[in-house]
Amino acid sequence: RVSSDGKPPKFQPPPKPVIIDRKTQKEERRFLSPEFIPPRGRTDPLKYYIERKDMIQRRKVFNIPEFYVGYVLAVTTADPYASDKSKRFVGICIQRGGKGLGATFVLRNVIEDQGVEMCYELYSPRIQAIEVLKLEKRLDENLMYLRDALPEYSTFDVNMKPVPRMDHEEIPLNKLQVRMKPKPWSKRWERPKYNIKGIKFELPEHKMKAAQKWSQPWLEFDMLREYDTSKIEAKIRKELSEELEK
């Protein structure tokens, strides 16, 4: 290179290599099932510790996949009254409730124009297999409004094949806005208490404004309702990783 004077060009150090440690990043983002986090209350943590031990035992024997609300799952359960003693149900997960061993999830599907919902207990010994057919997160954590939506949004083929996934890291977010049946609905989903983003409200403007009357904007700043789970989660993650390695 041609230098400005006769002197050699100023030494420019090479750019520092950026080390992206993929292993630690992956561990931080690992999913912790919500039923492990104990609810806020005055019960003895020993109860939750014993429950967690039982949950880990069950997970060692039976694989419960990571799933969120909005995934399409197929669950095979044992039933003495079914042919072949087992029955299979395919549906979209609308909600995950309960903590500890009583954790449940509700699957919804529309079969022969009839909406059916099944509530399963995650740790029930009757469940023989849980397969994730479609990985798709939705805008809300509770899809109960699908009961009042048009049935096309809850229909899933019973013989659906698992959708193949390309990436191993990203879970696609479906920003689908669901169209509803005409009112009355089972709950007034337009109210800010439910904070639903996944519905295309076709209500007139004055109704949407009237619904905002019930908004409680002070709730998010209420300090007595705060429940910081970061330390509890870190402890439980450590416990889980130790137990599962044994």
Residues near another protein (CB under 8 A): 77, 79, 81-82, 87, 89, 104, 111-121, 124, 126, 147, 184, 186
Calculate the dihedral angle through the C-alpha atoms of 58, 66, 107, 225, rounding to the nearest 10 degrees: 90
Say how many C-beta atoms besides its own lie within 10 A of residue 58's C-beta: 16
Least separation in angstroms between residue 38's CB and another protein is: 21
Question: Does residue 138 sit in helix, strand or coil?
Answer: strand
Phi then psi dihedrals of residue 120, to 5 deg = -115, 145
Yes or no: say if 141 and 109 are a contact pair by the CB < 8 Å rule: no
The smaller minimum CB distance to another protein, of residues 50 and 158, is found at: 158
Angle at 162 between CA 161 and CA 164, to 5 degrees: 120
Report how far residue 91's alpha carbon sits from residue 146's, in angstroms, rounded to the nearest whole number. 12
Least separation in angstroms between residue 176's CB and another protein is: 20
The smaller minimum CB distance to another protein, of residues 4 and 186, is found at: 186
Least separation in angstroms between residue 104's CB and another protein is: 6
Yes or no: say if 107 and 117 are a contact pair by the CB < 8 Å rule: yes
Least separation in angstroms between residue 224's CB and another protein is: 32
Q: CB-based contacts of 221: which residues, under 8 Å, 6+ apart?
A: none
The smaller minimum CB distance to another protein, of residues 159 and 186, is found at: 186
The smaller minimum CB distance to another protein, of residues 114 and 216, is found at: 114
User: Which residue, among 185, 89, 181, has the nearest Cα to 130 in the 3D structure?
Assistant: 89
Q: Omega before 184 cis (within 30°)? A: yes
The smaller minimum CB distance to another protein, of residues 106 and 133, is found at: 106
Least separation in angstroms between residue 41's CB and another protein is: 23
The smaller minimum CB distance to another protein, of residues 113 and 152, is found at: 113
Least separation in angstroms between residue 111's CB and another protein is: 5
The smaller minimum CB distance to another protein, of residues 59 and 87, is found at: 87
Least separation in angstroms between residue 204's CB and another protein is: 20
State the amino acid at position 33 in one-letter form.
Answer: S
User: Which residue, among 176, 180, 172, has the nearest Cα to 146 in the 3D structure?
Assistant: 180
